[in-house]
Structure 1
Amino acid sequence: MTGGPGAVLVLGEALVDLVPVGGDGGVREARFGGAPANVAVGLAGLGTPVSFAGGLGDDGFAAMIEARLRAAGTDLSLCARSALPTALAVAEPDARGTGYHFHLQDTATFRLPDLSAEAAGFGAVYVGGLAAVVEPAASAVRATALAAAGQSLLVVDPNVRRDRTLGPDHGAAALRDLCGLAQVVKASDEDLETLWPGVPPEETCRKLAAGGRLVVLTRGARGSTAYTATAPPVSVPATPVEVVDTIGAGDAFAAGLVSRMCARGSFTAHPGPEEVRDMLSHATQAAASVCARAGTELSAPAGS
């Protein structure tokens, strides 16, 4: 099993995105998906030792998912397995971004293991996404996050989904709670506006950072900003790119951020300003590489 102080444990969902082909909603392509799974593959592609702990079924979609994770070099020894089917996310892109209609119930995807006993064996533990709010996965995520917060570096990416299946407030309290437990929070402006409505995202970031956290705010084409308790915010512009597909860009950013922490030799919530700038630049380039092509596979930033 992959593990150790330089390794990352990613706990969450690996599912299948059904994405329109050529803008035709009547023809859809099955793609590897799930924010945590994308992050795990991204970390492995960037050379960071990573274990993915998700729920894998025994259907054809599960076989596709497992093949992609293994090909990337992701350790799967902590995954839970069952005879249930794989969850599906029907992607519905529009002018506001990508919405989803989820098929989640009675699937293997959300039968996650409680890894609270294993959290201390990793330098960082990443959680977030649907698994943080959909039971029975959410209970396992919370238990593991509680352990990671005291024994490792807990990285939370709330990754709030705009969808037609879960209510607009479904899981908001759980995601706010996880952000409160974390040492590192990576969130988009839309995530924070949803979780703390009526509060400017920058104000939420300052409040979270005041508790000793590293908080990274992403704004798509407007770049990213990192907040800490002891220094002024650090901002980095988005990398210019001809956008083909934005699905998975946030996950690539998260992978780039965490991988850069590992490459610098330390998982920490208290980097210096120049370290912060370097991490943001690396993450921004990783996200841009995903936007420049269809699918969620990233390219290693220059100088990695």
Structure 2
Amino acid sequence: MSRDGVLVLGEALIDLVPEPGRPEALRAQSGGAPANVATGLARLGTPVSFAGTLGGDAFARSIERRLTDAGVDLSLCGRSPLPTTLAVADPGPEGTAYHFHTDRTATFQLPDRTADVPRFGAVYVGGLAAVVEPAASVVAATARTAARGGLLAVDPNVREDRTLATGTHLGVLRALCEAAHLVKASDEDLTRLWPGRDPDASCRELAHEGRLVVMTRGARGSTAYTAAGAVVTVPAAPVDVVNTIGAGDAFMAAVLSWLAAESWRLDPPADRAEAMLGHASQVAASVCGRPGTEPSAPAAR
């Protein structure tokens, strides 16, 4: 694996999503923010290794096929006879809510890959694994290692569900953002993490401390905040929306892929930041325009 590659640490699970026009009928599709990011990176041509744990059921075999078909390296992946975590999606007018079934599953039995961190150009963490034990302790240790001697990329991907200890996990996610070199977060994530503060102010503060921060606003576009003080906004790529599940993960994969091609420069000038956001918006739109979570690369960068 090249030093330019990305180590993605976290969960690969199964989303149960309503069939179009039949909300009572649920369809199983591979998901989990880290697994989506890993798949997106591979489909965009960036070397990526996924360090999650796959279970011993048919769902895990389906997840493995998805990852390997995309070109994701699974040599650092853990294996377990336990079943796969299920996330029951509940799409609504204000976004998609989830109800998670995590008890006694393989998904959060993450392998310790801290020793492998120096092999990679960047380490991505985020999603449920950052807040669900025993995975959260592994994520925290890996993030500390990447923050000290590499490039740590964080997408807090805040989830709210009765199965999660909300007060605790918000503090964990805030700490990860503050340790990161690159933060990508939605405006909704930022409002939940720092309630009572304008998301723009949170981004400016994080960037002022030396980070590259990217905020997404769904159909209202995205904004990049650089350590040098530049603030660049681009509109969302136009698309007839069929699905929004996985769009944020595709956006994150596109940002990481772009930065890998730019030798991990986290202080881009305004024109390059604008180009990065435009590229990521097009990749996210490729997910929104059809069912499923598989992104495709724009015709030209």
**TM superposition score normalised by structure 1:** 0.97
Amino acid at match of 1:35: A
Name the residue aligned to 1:282.
279
Map 1:108-187 to 2 at 5 A. 108-187=106-185
Alpha-carbon distance in structure 2 between the residues aligned to 1:150 and 1:268: 17
Name the residue aligned to 2:202.
204
Alpha-carbon distance in structure 1 between the residues aligned to 2:151 and 2:166: 29
- Compute the RMSD of aligned alpha carbons: 1.0
Q: Which moved more, 1:50-59 or 1:22-31?
A: 22-31
Structure 2 residue 293 is matched with structure 1 residue 296: yes
**TM superposition score normalised by structure 2:** 0.98
Is contact 2:259–2:266 with CA below 8 Å preserved after alignment? no
Q: CA deviation at 1:302?
A: 2.3
Alpha-carbon distance in structure 2 between the residues aligned to 1:302 and 1:109: 35
Q: CA deviation at 1:299?
A: 1.2
SS in 1 for 2:296: coil
Alpha-carbon distance in structure 1 between the residues aligned to 2:245 and 2:258: 22
Name the residue aligned to 1:40.
38
Alpha-carbon distance in structure 2 between the residues aligned to 1:228 and 1:121: 26
Name the residue aligned to 2:268.
271
Q: CA deviation at 1:276?
A: 1.0
Q: CA deviation at 1:170?
A: 4.3
Q: Which moved more, 1:266-275 or 1:289-298?
A: 266-275
SS in 1 for 2:5: strand
Name the residue aligned to 1:25.
23
Name the residue aligned to 1:95.
93
Deviation string 1:277-299 (CA, Å, 9 cap, x unpaired) is: 11111111000010000000111
Amino acid at match of 1:233: V
Q: CA deviation at 1:48?
A: 0.3
Name the residue aligned to 2:240.
242
Q: CA deviation at 1:167?
A: 4.1
SS in 2 for 1:126: strand
Is contact 1:206–1:227 with CA below 8 Å preserved after alignment? yes
Amino acid at match of 1:7: G
Alpha-carbon distance in structure 2 between the residues aligned to 1:282 and 1:25: 33
Deviation string 1:201-239 (CA, Å, 9 cap, x unpaired) is: 000001100110000000001100011121320111100
SS in 1 for 2:257: helix
Map 1:52-71 to 2 at 5 A. 52-71=50-69
Is contact 2:34–2:126 with CA below 8 Å preserved after alignment? yes
Name the residue aligned to 2:230.
232
Is contact 1:153–1:268 with CA below 8 Å preserved after alignment? no
Is contact 1:290–1:298 with CA below 8 Å preserved after alignment? yes
Alpha-carbon distance in structure 2 between the residues aligned to 1:291 and 1:95: 15
Amino acid at match of 2:294: E
Alpha-carbon distance in structure 1 between the residues aligned to 2:69 and 2:225: 35
How many residues are paired up?
A: 301
SS in 1 for 2:112: coil
Is contact 1:116–1:146 with CA below 8 Å preserved after alignment? no
Q: CA deviation at 1:268?
A: 2.8
Q: CA deviation at 1:121?
A: 0.7
**Structure 1 residues 139 and 167: alpha-carbon distance in aligned structure 2, compared to 1, 3 A threshold:** closer
Q: Which runs of 4+ in 1 moved over 4 A?
A: none
For structure 1, which runs of at least 5 residues remain unmatched after alignment? Answer: none
Identity score, percent: 62
For structure 2, which runs of at least 5 residues remain unmatched after alignment? Answer: none
Amino acid at match of 1:40: A
Alpha-carbon distance in structure 1 between the residues aligned to 2:22 and 2:272: 44
Is contact 2:208–2:229 with CA below 8 Å preserved after alignment? no
SS in 1 for 2:167: coil
Alpha-carbon distance in structure 1 between the residues aligned to 2:97 and 2:67: 25
Alpha-carbon distance in structure 2 between the residues aligned to 1:168 and 1:96: 19
